[in-house]
Amino acid sequence: MTGSHNLRFSVPHPIPYQGSKRRLATAILSHVPTNRYTRLVEPFAGSAAVTLAAAHRKMFSSFVIADALDPLIELWRMVISDPTEAADQYDKLWHREREKPIAAYYEIRSEFNADRSPAKLLYLLARCVKNAVRFNPAGEFNQSPDKRRKGTRPQVMKAELFAAHRLLAGKADALHGDFLSLFLAAQPGDLFYLDPPYQGTSQGRDQRYISGVSRHRMIEALTILNEKRVPFILSYDGSCGVRNYGDALPQNVAHRILLDVGRSSQATLNGRDDVTIESLYVSHLLPAKHKTRTTASLNDFTEQATLFT
Ligand SMILES: C[S@@+](CC[C@H](N)C(=O)[O-])C[C@H]1O[C@@H](n2cnc3c(N)ncnc32)[C@H](O)[C@@H]1O
């Protein structure tokens, strides 16, 4: 078993989430100097893969997990304070499908759209196509069930929820809201990891996440962090094969590194040979570790993955 495999299994990741940075967390965190920053702030947290990886390595003493999706933040609050109820509810929801396969999914989806229950969101994310959160213009979750997979088994989910709890309890806060309020509240000692919805997925017809972030707004927000001299690492404008997901940011905002993350699963399904490239923007305030080259591959980080397991 390789180091990167060890890493994947030893860092908990309870919330299945399309776009999770779980596989990239080691590469992202390699830009963080040791013992210099005390708090990691993740304003577009989703499944908080980078926060969990950083907590596993004890890289910061405190964490902020934030997102615009309210029930997701409620779920993180349950994980941080006491995941018993989330685990129990997930178990009951998952077993409902035994009696009514597929029909139970639609029933729970309707219930979620009425009550916004965090445990129901966890169930829907685990059971829906591509673990992809999708809302219609009325704000209703409308993703379909995955008919080939059953979603994380309740015992595994319980273990993951409790493992995440052990990493975050007493150290993390979960906040609901737009990212800008966190930028304005940034303090010395903070380091921000940012993973906003790609330009290509938050504008126009492809409304993947509940709200989008324009390039212009992101540049203005990063200027706030630069003025406060709070460093950040930003995942942005990924491209897949010939399809480009957005325009590059100006060089004075941050240094851009292109990360080759291998073939995308979607491209593999479509029989194409595309390689996914992710842009990582590293604040000029961080040491010039990889600044001499502009591309890196995930394999470059296998060594570090082994070190951290
Ligand atoms: C690409 S996903 C982040 C995935 C995350 N890095 C992970 O590892 O799971 C982007 C997230 O930003 C959130 N989001 C969208 N617009 C936002 C806004 N204006 N303020 C805060 N969060 C927002 C979405 O709900 C979504 O969870």
The finding on whether 20 has its CB within 6 A of some atom of ligand 1 is yes
71 in any annotated domain = yes
pLDDT in tens, 74-93: 999 999 999 999 999 999 99
The finding on whether 71 has its CB within 6 A of some atom of ligand 1 is no
Task: List the CATH number of the domain containing 74.
Answer: 3.40.50.150
| H-assigned helices in 229-276 | 265-269
Residue nearest to atom 16 of ligand 1 (CA): 211
pLDDT in tens, 132-165: 999 999 999 999 999 999 999 999 999 999 999 9
Range(s) of the domain holding residue 67: 4-81+157-236
The finding on whether 46 has its CB within 6 A of some atom of ligand 1 is yes
56 vs 1, higher pLDDT: 56
Which residue has 């591309």 as its token pair?
Answer: 295
Q: For residue 266, is pLDDT > 80?
A: no
**Given this model, what pLDDT does residue 62 score?**
98
Interstrand relation of 275-282 and 232-240 (parallel, antiparallel or unpaired): antiparallel
131 in any annotated domain = no
**Given this model, what pLDDT does residue 9 score?**
54
74 in any annotated domain = yes
CA distance 150 to 174: 29
Instruction: Give, in order, the Cα–Cα distances in Å from 203 to each of 56, 234, 260, 291.
Output: 35, 19, 25, 31
| H-assigned helices in the chain | 3-10, 25-29, 49-56, 70-81, 84-99, 103-115, 118-127, 154-168, 179-184, 199-202, 215-228, 265-269, 302-308
The finding on whether 12 has its CB within 6 A of some atom of ligand 1 is no
The finding on whether 159 has its CB within 6 A of some atom of ligand 1 is no
**Given this model, what pLDDT does residue 66 score?**
98
Could you tell me the pLDDT band of residue 269, with boundaries at 50, 70 and 90? low
* Total number of domains in the chain: 1
In testing the pocket of ligand 1, which one of 24, 67, 192 has its CB within 8 Å of the most ligand atoms? 67
The finding on whether 44 has its CB within 6 A of some atom of ligand 1 is yes
Task: Provide the percentage of residues in the chain whose pLDDT is more than 90.
Answer: 68
240 vs 136, higher pLDDT: 136
177 in any annotated domain = yes
Residue nearest to atom 20 of ligand 1 (CA): 178
The finding on whether 43 has its CB within 6 A of some atom of ligand 1 is yes
139 in any annotated domain = no
302 in any annotated domain = no
Is 0.85 topped by the overall pTM?
A: yes
Residue nearest to atom 19 of ligand 1 (CA): 178
8 in any annotated domain = yes
CA distance 243 to 113: 33
266 in any annotated domain = no
